[in-house]
């Protein structure tokens, strides 16, 4: 990602004990297939496409994440 471009940060928490957690990550892999992304941690993903970020957010909510948030960010360095 170029430093001047907007990024979208999605953070979520899918508990280890949550039913369907593995399926969540399978779907997530498909969503991320055709975009530029990187992980900040296991539950924080940075993407360059707003619609992809929104899809991740909706997916996390569909799998009953304890929390799921999306932010728009601009790198400062």
The mean per-residue pLDDT over the stretch 10-31 comes to: 94
Identify whether 1 is part of a domain. no
The mean per-residue pLDDT over the stretch 29-54 comes to: 94
Domain coverage including residue 26: 7-73
pTM for the whole structure: 0.88
Per-residue pLDDT band at 67 (split at 50, 70, 90): very high
Place of tokens 């369907």: 20
Domain tally for the chain?
1
The CATH number of whichever domain residue 21 belongs to comes to 3.30.70.240
Per-residue pLDDT band at 10 (split at 50, 70, 90): very high
Select from 60, 38, 55 the least CA-distant residue to 47. 38
H or E element: which one contains 72? strand 67-73
């Amino acid at each position: 990602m170029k430093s001047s471009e907007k990024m979208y940060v999605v953070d979520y928490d899918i508990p280890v004990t949550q039913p369907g957690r593995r399926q969540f990550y399978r779907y997530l892999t498909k969503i991320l297939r055709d975009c530029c992304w990187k992980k900040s941690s296991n539950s924080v993903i940075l993407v360059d496409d707003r619609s992809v970020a929104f899809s991740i957010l909706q997916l996390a909510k569909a799998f009953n994440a304890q929390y799921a948030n999306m932010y728009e960010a601009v790198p400062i360095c």
